[in-house]
Every structure is written in structure tokens, then in C-alpha cells.
Amino acid sequence: MRPQIPSLVERLCPITRYAGRGVCIAFVDSGFFPHSDLRLPRGRIRAYVDVTRDEPEPRELLERKAGSWHGTMTTCCAAGNGYMSGGRYRGLASESDVVLIKSKEDGEDVKASHLVSALGVPLRHDGLGVRVMSVSLGVDPGDAQSEAIHSAVDAAVKAGIVVVVAAGNVPDRAPSAPASAKNAITVGGYDDGATIDGGDDKPWPSSHGNGKPDLLAPSAWVPAPMVPGTLEAREAHALYDLLGVLEEMSLEPNAVHDEILVQIAARITKQKYIARDYQHVDGTSFAAPIVSSIVAQMLEANPKLGPADVREGLLHTARKLDGVPDEIQGAGLINAAAAVQWAESRAG
């Protein structure tokens, strides 16, 4: 009755002795919540920066808003430790530290000036120690300030930061800035059917064109925690509690009991709930942080790698999808274990 979604660790088969230890990832998104998967048992949020404010300085306080679900989920699918799931739904960089950069005003479109400011946070505050930036936002195609965003990506990469950007989910157009930046590692998506067997892998309908994306990562059936206290989180708790009670009741099978169970299961499936505190989500917004988590593993294995090295390792070890044009898949599907092994082979 309850959806069973394999974790990303099970599906991507990484080298599990690496978890991004000693690596700090900055996440650029629309908003964040200080989730337990990032705070317990060890607080790993180094700073929160809101570049939509007049004075975007790092601070510890995060706004606890229901609208912070997107950034919370992108961050936790990469760097969450699965605390609320007993470790099951952890990201591949579950021991990394994070910097959270809010880059979109509530209810407004993404502004190029905010993205430029966000991409510059690790340079203005190098004491944060950011090695990777995961960006799950973009401006509209043809934005007049796209070149300024490209320049900001270039500056971050020149400073030694690996910039990973979601390609977008509009398959009939090329990725927009910052995903269109030459030096960004632009990530499109694929759908693995929530299975460990790679035989059913297929492309996710993500943006492509003008030499992007560079590679693909999971963009469907991605486990991520809900923001506590939201309507969705409260509903999930109620449904799972009720389901548990009904399953424990020693009732003789009857049509009413069975119909209630069917209706609960249908609602859980419709809402994409996979546990009391987790949903599965989709989109290239989640593919980019998954790649960022693998980059953190690579940097833990070999801290001397620079952005160009990381790009080479990711693309060299990717696996091609048969029958899919290169313009859609780039180098192919991310290969977590092979990328980290490549990083290890360059150490010494």
C-alpha cells in the first residue's frame, strides 16, 4: 500500500565511504528552511545569504516560510543526511557543509542582478570555503543581462569553484543563463523509473541546445523532505498515521475497510508521498544538486581537483543512452562511482 522509492544511494551506487566531508556546497535557490536533515545531529549550515536584500550579508537566521520548499528540497536531495528517515533518504554529500543563498523575491520573477550577486557570494566571502555552487534558478531566455550572469559564472570558476546549473524543463528551447554559460556544468535530466536497473532509463524532457546540457542526472522520483508544518507535511503525517492504525487493527476483511485503505493509498500516490516526512519530486532543479553532491565526493577523494578537472572527470565517465541524440544528453548519464574513482586516480 505504501510507495517504496529506492534511495538515491541505492540507485546511483556511489562509493559510500565518501560523503562530501570537508567540502562546502553553496545552493542558489528561491528560499530555504533550516531542515533537520541539515541541522541534526550536527549543524552543517555555514551561512544563509539573502541577495534580494539591500545588504546581503551572511547570517545564521533563516526565514521559516512554507514557500521555502524548493530550495529546501534541492539542498537536502544533495546534502541532507536523511535524519527524518533514519538515514534512508540521504544525499550523496550527506556530510558536507552548506551555504544557502536565497536569490528570488517571494512572488517575483528571478532577476539577473540577484543571480549575479548570488554567484559572487563565495568570492565576496571567501571565508565560507565554498568549493561547489549548485544553481537551480535561471532568467528568461534573451534576458539583457545574460552576459553579466555568464561573466559571474566565469569569475566563480576562475576562483576555483565548480558551478553546476540546472538546464531547465522546456525541451523545445535552449537553456537560459546561467545554464547557458560555457564554464557552467549544465545538467539535464533522465528518468530511471525509480529502479536500480538501468535498462529502463530514458531522457527527462529538459531544455537542450547550443551545446548544452553537458550531461544528465536523475530528474524524477527524487526523494526529498517536505517543509515541516506545511499543508502537505501535515496531510502526509495524518495519512500515514491513519494507515498505520488501520493496518494494525485486527478487523475481518470487509468492503468498507478495504475501500478506505484504497483511498488512502491513492491519495498518498497522488501527492507523491513516500514517507511521513518525504515526497518524491521531479525536474532538472534536482538533477543539478545531485551532480553537485557527486562533485563533493570527488573533491573529498581528491581536494586538489580544479573546476576543469571535475568537468573532465564527470564527462569522461558518463554513460551514453542508446538512441538519444548528443544534443539532448551531452556526455550521457552521470556515473557516480566511476567519477569518484577517476578523481582518486588523479590524486597523489
- Give the 3-state secondary structure of residue 296: helix
| Res 17 pLDDT > 70 | yes
Give the pLDDT of residue 1.
47
As given in the structure block, the three cell numbers for residue 172 are 523545445
| Res 66 pLDDT > 50 | no
> pLDDT tens, 281-315?
999 999 999 999 999 999 999 999 999 999 999 99
Confidence of residue 245 (pLDDT cuts 50, 70, 90): confident
Confidence of residue 4 (pLDDT cuts 50, 70, 90): confident
Residue range 323-345: average pLDDT?
Answer: 97
CB 6 within 8 A of CB 328: no
Rounded to whole angstroms, how far apart are CA atoms 92 and 80? 8
> pLDDT tens, 98-110?
999 999 988 889 9
Protein fold of 8-224+281-343: Rossmann fold (3.40.50)
User: Angle of helix 231-248 relative to helix 255-270, nearest 10 degrees?
Assistant: 150
Give the pLDDT of residue 328.
97
User: Which residue do the cell numbers 531547465 mark?
Assistant: 168
Rounded to whole angstroms, how far apart are CA atoms 184 and 180? 8
* Chain-centre distance for alpha carbon 91: 9
Lowest-pLDDT choice from 45-59, 147-161, 200-214, 308-322 = 45-59
- Give the 3-state secondary structure of residue 233: helix
As a whole number, the mean pLDDT across the chain is: 93
Rounded to whole angstroms, how far apart are CA atoms 118 and 168? 18
Give the pLDDT of residue 82.
97
DSSP code per residue over 130-184:
EEEEEE---PPTT-TTHHHHHHHHHHHHHTT-EEEEE--S-TTS---TTTT-TTS
